[in-house]
């Protein structure tokens, strides 16, 4: 079968493309525009890991270029589409909303339109726990109120879910959105907490913890996220008679205070952090925790990687990649 993966040079996209290509049952086409939001060398290094896989091909392209992307999809004729490309980052969205409009709104509409024309069996796309926003009660359920996102990034992801719903109903697309919860692991983004914290520790730099380190995060190991994506991808919603636009949480359901997360990194790296405790930051959520009832019932998703194990894998990669 043919699978198109957008954001294939990104953190989660790389891992999904690799998992699918290694099955020897998928022809995987990875698409990424290699934006410079963070170090492009890391994106190229991920692609170098994928290059030897015989069932993987890569094309540098911008999925927000509507006509060119539609032509690309029409030519490849994917059976399944995993749309994992996006402009990420909660705090950056406060400074540069235009980048999010381009990738997360125009780009997502472009993906939906290409799928409307080419009719894959299933489109799975990345949403985010950021959609829950103010007023959400932990653990977050998919049917909770998501009308008060606390960041522009969260608002664009909420918009994605509404757009997907409209395309499912109007055009009969099989569409599922996945709300990811604080994904970490090898090949992680340099702007995410695990790498930021690890670099500060390794370099002896001050480590800033907002909300005095008391924010709770549902840290989820990337292999568990990949399991959820691949399982969801291969099981489209049943037609009855209009395909529903499903939403699932993918998390770990065991939130941890960020200061405890840092203490675990200290032990693994053998370094002591210079912690700077700061007040809450605009756009941050105080707690994230995924209710997994719906996704467990639908596809049997169950995260297996304890934080201690996953962090060990992350630190081993971190030391090797950054040559520490």
pLDDT band of residue 283 (cuts 50, 70, 90) is low
- 267 occurs within a structural domain: no
Per residue in 230-269, pLDDT tens? 999 998 887 666 677 999 999 999 999 999 999 999 999 9
In a domain, 131, yes or no: yes
Candidates 146, 156, 191; CA nearest to 285 is: 146
Structural domain includes residue 94: yes
**3-state SS assignment for residue 102:** helix
Other Cβ atoms within 10 Å of 243 Cβ, number: 20
Domain of residue 294, residue span? 2-188+220-253+287-304
Indicate the angle between helix axes 66-76 and 107-118, nearest 10 degrees.
40
Q: Where residue 281 falls among pLDDT bands split at 50, 70, 90? A: confident
The contacts of residue 261 (CB under 8 Å, 6+ apart) are 193, 194, 197, 217, 219, 307
Residue 17 lies inside a defined structural domain of this protein: yes
Establish if 120 belongs to a structural domain.
yes
Q: What is the model's pLDDT at position 291?
A: 98
For 158-178, write each residue's pLDDT tens digit. Answer: 999 999 999 999 999 999 999
Q: Is residue 201 a part of any domain in this protein?
A: no
Question: Which pTM value belongs to this model?
Answer: 0.96
- Kindly state the percentage of the chain with pLDDT values over 90: 90
Query: Rounded to whole angstroms, how far apart are CA atoms 156 and 96?
Result: 13
HSE-CB of 272 using CA atoms within 13 angstroms: 0
Q: What domain count does the chain have?
A: 1
Q: Quickly count: other Cβ atoms within 10 Å of residue 49's Cβ.
A: 14
DSSP class per residue in 47-89: HHHHTT-TTEEEEE--TTSHHHHHHHHHHH--SEEEE------
pLDDT band at 58 (very low <50, low <70, confident <90, very high): very high
CATH of the domain at 20: 3.40.50.720
pLDDT bucket at 91, cuts 50 / 70 / 90: confident
Pairwise CA distance, residues 130 & 17, whole Å: 24
Q: Is residue 175 included in any domain, yes or no? A: yes
Q: What is the mean pLDDT of the chain?
A: 95
pLDDT tens for each residue of 198-242: 999 999 999 999 999 999 999 999 999 999 999 999 988 876 666
| Burial (CB count within 10 angstroms: exposed 0-12, middle 13-18, buried 19+), residue 95 | exposed
Catalytic site residues?
153
In a domain, 156, yes or no: yes
Instruction: List helix spans (H) across the chain.
Output: 11-22, 40-50, 66-76, 92-95, 97-100, 107-118, 152-171, 193-203, 222-233, 258-269, 293-299, 307-321
Dist CA 40 CA 42 (whole Å): 5
**What per-residue confidence (pLDDT) applies to 241?**
60
């Amino acid at each position: 079968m043919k699978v198109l993966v957008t954001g294939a040079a990104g953190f989660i996209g790389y891992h999904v493309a690799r998992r699918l290509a290694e099955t020897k049952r998928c022809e995987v086409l990875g698409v990424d525009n290699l934006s410079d939001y963070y170090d492009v060398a890391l994106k190229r290094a991920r692609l170098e890991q994928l290059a030897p896989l015989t069932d993987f091909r890569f094309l540098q392209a911008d999925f927000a270029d509507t006509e060119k992307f539609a032509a690309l999809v029409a030519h490849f004729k994917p059976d399944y589409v995993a749309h994992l490309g996006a402009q990420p980052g909660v705090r950056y969205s406060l400074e540069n909303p235009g980048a999010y409009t381009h990738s997360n709104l125009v780009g997502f509409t472009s993906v939906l339109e290409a799928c409307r024309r080419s009719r894959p069996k299933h489109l799975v796309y990345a949403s985010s726990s950021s959609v829950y926003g103010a007023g959400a009660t932990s653990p977050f359920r998919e049917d909770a109120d998501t009308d008060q996102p606390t960041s522009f990034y969260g608002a664009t992801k909420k918009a994605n879910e509404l757009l997907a719903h409209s395309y499912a109903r109007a055009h009969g697309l099989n569409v599922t959105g996945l709300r990811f919860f604080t994904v970490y692991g090898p090949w992680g983004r340099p702007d995410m907490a695990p790498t930021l914290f690890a670099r500060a520790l390794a370099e002896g730099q001050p480590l800033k913890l907002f909300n005095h380190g008391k924010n709770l995060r549902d840290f989820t190991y990337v292999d568990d996220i990949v399991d959820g994506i691949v399982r969801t991808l291969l099981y489209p919603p049943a037609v009855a008679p209009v395909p529903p636009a499903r939403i699932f949480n993918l998390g770990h359901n065991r939130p941890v205070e960020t200061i405890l997360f840092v203490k675990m990194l200290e032990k693994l790296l053998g370094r002591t952090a210079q912690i700077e405790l700061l007040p809450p930051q605009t756009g941050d959520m105080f707690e994230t925790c995924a209710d997994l009832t719906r996704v467990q019932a639908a596809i049997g998703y169950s995260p297996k990687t304890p934080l201690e194990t996953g962090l060990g894998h992350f630190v081993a990669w971190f030391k090797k990649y950054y040559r520490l």
